[in-house]
Amino acid sequence: MTDVNTVLDQAGLTNEDVRAYVNEWFAITGAERVEVVSAADDARLIQVALENGDLLPAGEGSYFSRSYFKDTARAEERTIVATSDEADKGIYNNWKPSSEMKPKLIELMTGASKGKTMYVIPYLMAPAGSPLDKFAAGVELTDNVGVVLQMIRMARVGVDYINHLGNDFVRAVHVTGDLPNLGQGTPDDKRYFVTVADERTILHFGSSYGGNALLGKIAHGLRQGSYDGWKNGFLVEQFMLLGITDKETGKKYNICGGFPSASGKTNLAMTLSPDALGDRYYVEFYGDDIAWIWVDDNGVLRGFNPENGVFGVAKDTNEHTNPTAIDSIKPGLGVIYTNVAYNEKTQAVWWEGRGDKPTDLDGWLDWKGERIADRTAEQADENWAHPNSRFTTTIANVPNAAEQWDDPAGVEIHGIIFGGRTRDREPLIRAINDLAEGVYDGLTLGAEATFAADGLEGVLRYDPMSMRPFMSYGEGDYAQHWLNVVGKATNNPIFAHVNWFQRGEDGRFLWPGYRENLRPLLWLMQYRNGEVTGVETPVGVIPARDELNLEGLDEQTLADLDTILTIDTARWQQEMGYRKEHLEQFTNVPAEIWEAHNRVAKNLDA
């Protein structure tokens, strides 16, 4: 068996607290070997993964991985926040006492890595040297080389990030488990994904899929980070972050925002200027999934993306919907594809929405590894790729990545937007000047349910600030924390709500979306600067038609503008009843939030 301390010495890992933690878990998991990794080990570990079959080549310098077929997405019902204080319990965080969960996870993990290598991944979920450094460092222990390779793309990895921190690091343990024998989705399900938030410890057992196994990304970057932020005065949110430069005036704006699943967040984060406006406006990418936000000593609201890469959903990603993403996953960039369709003869990959489906089926395997040419007539319409299939690439591969994306000082936040998905009622954009109303709007963010799925056509599945799956403490306390943090900012960040998804009576989208979504954001910054006045409504300020830059839009879109710049009062009054029920679930909701709700309801009734 490996002499752990000798390996740690050779790797230059000098932090005594980290060394003790590695030794402890090496003994618990029963691993045979230990290896400390850094980003410099990527090429070597790629070869290890290719040799053992964890990866397959996907063309020049690209790679393909396939999950176990029951292990392809986050398992929210098995995801738990544990602490020693029941006051941390919320509606959405699946709270359990740590005294119950820690022994359970230790029992499951005991001996579960027998015969395997324990990889030690020292990582940082922040630009090095940032004021939030001490909250961003962690050490993930995993028995899965595929997880190591994904983490190298998604975080900054190396011992230099943790040697100086003493005990200020997140302890993150991932054990894959015997995937075919875990009872996924049955009463005997053995999977648990637990964040022991008040001990800054993450224990995940029973998966090798990204969101369950890349512990720096979701469990630390969102759940643990959010809890740390609550206790230490900063915000951690599932937000995209982009920058817009007006080349004519030299002004630069940075906008962050939360969007429920399938509401256009990644496409907006990676957007480019529309062709008609490209000579004047340049859009920069900071991040597509997470933002850490704080107020600096000068009262300026600032933020950064803590990640080092993009873990993007492949479905519907193509040259039209997201050309930036396509440029970020070109051959030779070290991209890892997960659960897409794969051709074992040509090494090509494909997913629904990528383009025309290949007609020559020779060599094509679906996401389960089953031969597509052997499908029966009844199986002909089944997906080739899993709907949650992914590509993993580094921010360095994103062609319009901002020069400041890794700046430890972060960037000034000028706007905070929430993007829901409704077919009516919600206009293209509405600006919100009042802090409490902005936070209230985020708490009541949601995406429209479908009648087939939920029996409630037009009713939202609420997803506060798009953090519903990542909440680590109570929603009322969360709202108060938002009021406290943003309330300290003196640089006038403005809130807004956007909706790219209004439909006409014939079912077609009334707004072209994608790159054209830059236009309402430009209006928002003009409104913030006092350059336009907009039109007051009971639910915020919407653009006057002549305030939007409409250059290059087609005649149909221009004709539809009157609809998507309209407030449907009757539908809004109906929505206010649903919002009231939603907020009444939560304890400790600040009086300012209820006052904002009542104010909006009264304005609508008037």
Is residue 93 annotated as involved in ligand binding?
no
By the 8 A CB rule, do 140 and 156 touch? no
By the 8 A CB rule, do 285 and 267 touch? no
| Residue in the block written with tokens 């070109």 | 330
Is residue 161 annotated as involved in ligand binding?
no
Is residue 579 annotated as involved in ligand binding?
no
Is residue 287 annotated as involved in ligand binding?
no
- Per the document, the length of the chain is 606
| Residue in the block written with tokens 């609420």 | 462
Residue from 122, 125, 131 nearest 41 by CA: 122
Residue from 223, 220, 391, 236 nearest 315 by CA: 391
Does residue 484 come out as left (phi exceeding 0), alpha (psi in the -120 to 50 range) or beta?
A: alpha
Is residue 397 annotated as involved in ligand binding?
no
Is residue 528 annotated as involved in ligand binding?
no
With vertex at residue 410, the alpha carbon angle to CA 149 and CA 516, rounded to the nearest 5 degrees, is 85
Is residue 308 annotated as involved in ligand binding?
no
Q: Which residues contact 76 (CB under 8 A, 6 or more apart)?
A: 94, 469
By the 8 A CB rule, do 249 and 433 touch? no
How far is 148 from 18, CA to CA, in rounded Å?
18
Is residue 74 annotated as involved in ligand binding?
yes
Other beta carbons less than 10 A from residue 103's beta carbon: 10
Is residue 389 annotated as involved in ligand binding?
yes
Buried b (16+ CB within 10 A) or exposed e, 467-495: bbbbbbbbbbbbbbbbbebbeebeeebbb
How far is 592 from 32, CA to CA, in rounded Å?
56
Q: Is 83 helix (H, G, I), strand (E, B) or coil?
A: strand
Is residue 514 annotated as involved in ligand binding?
yes
Is residue 209 annotated as involved in ligand binding?
yes
| Residue in the block written with tokens 């602490």 | 83
Q: Is 263 a catalytic residue?
A: yes
Is residue 549 annotated as involved in ligand binding?
no
By the 8 A CB rule, do 424 and 314 touch? no
Q: Which two tokens stand for residue 199?
A: 């001990």
By the 8 A CB rule, do 105 and 19 touch? no
Is residue 171 annotated as involved in ligand binding?
no
Is residue 390 annotated as involved in ligand binding?
yes
Q: How many CA atoms lie within 13 A of 63 on its CB side?
A: 24
| Residue in the block written with tokens 């499951």 | 108
Q: Is 407 helix (H, G, I), strand (E, B) or coil?
A: coil
How far is 417 from 430, CA to CA, in rounded Å?
10
By the 8 A CB rule, do 264 and 517 touch? yes
Is residue 545 annotated as involved in ligand binding?
no
How far is 207 from 313, CA to CA, in rounded Å?
19
* DSSP state, residue 216: I
Is residue 191 annotated as involved in ligand binding?
no
Annotated catalytic residue within 62, 208, 226, 263:
263
* DSSP state, residue 358: P
Is residue 19 annotated as involved in ligand binding?
no
Look at strands 79-83 and 192-196 and give their pairing. Answer: parallel
Q: Is 306 helix (H, G, I), strand (E, B) or coil?
A: coil
Concatenated DSSP letters of 5-38: HHHHHHHT---HHHHHHHHHHHHHHTBSEEEE--
* DSSP state, residue 558: H
User: Annotated binding site for GTP: which residue ranges?
Assistant: 262-267, 390, 421, 514-517
Question: What is the set of active-site residues?
Answer: 263
Annotated binding-site members:
74, 209-211, 261-267, 388-390, 421, 514-517
Which positions make up the binding site for substrate?
74, 209-211, 261, 388-390
